[in-house]
Structure 1
Amino acid sequence: MKLSQLFKSRDIIEKPEKGSHHLILAWLIFTGIFIFSIIVAWNENLLIRLYLSDKSYISYAITILYILVAFHCASRVFYISSQINDSKKVEELVRNNENISLQMTDDKVHVNGDITLPDCIVTNFIHDLLNKGTHYPNAADLLSDSNAELIEVYEARLKSPHEIGWFSADIMIKLGLLGTIIGFIFMLGSVANITDFDITSMQKILKHMSTGMGTALYTTMAGLVCSMLATVQYHMLDTSIDDLIQTTKHLAQVYILPKIN
């Protein structure tokens, strides 16, 4: 077996190719399981018990915040998935043409003069490399050294919209802890107003204590669950972006920079 064939088979074993729209499918599976769990919880009256027991109404705020986060995640999933699929098309065009010629026209990149690369992060990165190679034709070291800094800019652009999601996930936990404090205040407030210890008064006190404890526990549970669900989705997005950035780095170093230099 030739050495090139050995490395090729090794790459296939170590890096299995993910299918088209892999991110969307993974997110839909996750969302489907979540919706199924919500339906089961609704049929078992768990959600009704949650919202009726929470006298602070913080669970409502956590739920609304999570719904907004879920819509934001959905929009990012479809965007990142389209970027990944278009980047795969660019990778196939570049890798399958040994004697490839890249031309830049305005904000478009053409392969061999007749094929226009789709608009995606890889195409934009190639466009910037060609632009630098045009303005600094004798600066091969400059292209190689600034390549890492340039790809970090694209990585920051892709991940910066997720900061609001990570912030929201942290806010959900803090809202749950705030509900815990409010619940204990309700519970201890009923004890502080004791004037006598007859049966009727004790029943009222126990009722107020159970209401306060329910508020504390249910808001904490709502905050933790919604925060974990949001974290899983944004971790899924960041992992896909990391894979996309690694693919872009490899394509640029192996196939693009040698042709520019």
Structure 2
Amino acid sequence: MKWDYLLFYRWLALNMVGFAILWVFHMNGMVEPVFLADSSYIVYVIAGLFLYGMVLCGFRVWKTSRELNWVKRGDKGKLKEFADKSRQSDRESVKEAFEIKLFARISFVKYISSSLVMLGLLGTVIGFIMVLTNIPANAVGDAAQVGKLVGALTNGMGVALYTTLVGAITNLWLNANYNMLRTGVVNLIAAILESADPQ
């Protein structure tokens, strides 16, 4: 049909724009310093977790989009499952259980998104700890120790600022994906309920 997998194509378009912007920053040499300045490797952990969340979110978007197609065509899918169960027992309790089940399947995306920003904040704390523990005790009054002082500050602040930046950006990006997925699930539930209601 003409509008098959519309949710998935919207998700794809959103992320193509996001990765295109990231590519522009990469071509201008603004991505590599973020990874190189982080001696704690938390930026790598954040990036890996973000990509994992994106793959899982994309899979859920595709499945939700497929279910929407089935319901709109009047085929099988979640509609059949809901209709069969609601005929056998109390419709309202089945409806609530059905909604909880569908939302539970996407809650991991929200959890990963929250974890990204928390990892960024953890990197901030680690960066400040690195600054404080690597400053030599005699560096404040000794002009010869200024180089070590600047090195410790640069290293620690690089970890603190870049992990916070990457955590915040990836959190916003994955949150945008989660909101799109959540809207798709809400639309799926509404379509199933409308289709299952007796005319």
TM-score normalised to structure 1 length: 0.71
In terms of Rg, which structure is larger? 1
CA displacement 1:236-256 (0-9 Å, x = unmatched): 11111111112222233342x
Q: Distance in 2 between matches of 1:57 and 1:27?
A: 29
Question: Which residue number corresponds to residue 238 of structure 1?
Answer: 182
Q: Distance in 1 between matches of 2:133 and 2:96?
A: 54
Question: Which residue number corresponds to residue 161 of structure 1?
Answer: 105
Q: Is the 8 A contact 2:131 2:155 kept in 1?
A: yes
CA displacement 1:169-218 (0-9 Å, x = unmatched): 11111111110011111112233532563443112211210211111000
The answer as to 2:83 corresponding to 1:126 is yes
Question: Which residue number corresponds to residue 56 of structure 2?
Answer: 72
- The count of aligned residue pairs is 198
Amino acid at match of 2:46: I
Report the alpha carbon displacement of residue 67 of structure 1 after superposing the two structures with TM: 0.9
Amino acid at match of 1:119: K
How high is the sequence identity, in percent, across the aligned residues? 26
Amino acid at match of 2:194: H
Question: Which residue number corresponds to residue 20 of structure 1?
Answer: 4
CA displacement 1:5-36 (0-9 Å, x = unmatched): xxxxxxxxxxxxx9332211110111101110
Partner SS for 1:186: helix
The answer as to 2:30 corresponding to 1:46 is yes
Runs of 4+, deviation exceeding 3 Å: 195-200
Q: Distance in 1 between matches of 2:54 and 2:169?
A: 13
Q: Please, which runs of 5 or more residues in structure 2 have no aligned partner?
A: none
The verdict on how the C-alpha distance between 1:36 and 1:196 changes in structure 2, with shifts beyond 3 A counting, is closer
The verdict on how the C-alpha distance between 1:196 and 1:210 changes in structure 2, with shifts beyond 3 A counting, is closer
The alignment yields a C-alpha RMSD, in angstroms, of 1.9
Q: Distance in 1 between matches of 2:196 and 2:105?
A: 25
Question: Which residue number corresponds to residue 258 of structure 1?
Answer: none
Question: Which residue number corresponds to residue 60 of structure 1?
Answer: 44
TM-score normalised to structure 2 length: 0.91
Amino acid at match of 1:60: Y
Question: Which residue number corresponds to residue 225 of structure 1?
Answer: 169
Q: Distance in 1 between matches of 2:143 and 2:155?
A: 18
The verdict on how the C-alpha distance between 1:247 and 1:200 changes in structure 2, with shifts beyond 3 A counting, is same
Q: Is the 8 A contact 2:119 2:167 kept in 1?
A: yes
Larger relative contact order (CA 8 Å, sep ≥ 6): 2
CA displacement 1:63-101 (0-9 Å, x = unmatched): 1111111110111111000000000001xxxxxxxxxxx
Q: Please, which runs of 5 or more residues in structure 1 have no aligned partner?
A: 1-17, 91-117, 133-142, 256-261
Report the alpha carbon displacement of residue 163 of structure 1 after superposing the two structures with TM: 2.1
Partner SS for 1:46: coil
CA displacement 1:95-128 (0-9 Å, x = unmatched): xxxxxxxxxxxxxxxxxxxxxxx32111222222
Report the alpha carbon displacement of residue 50 of structure 1 after superposing the two structures with TM: 0.3
The verdict on how the C-alpha distance between 1:121 and 1:76 changes in structure 2, with shifts beyond 3 A counting, is same
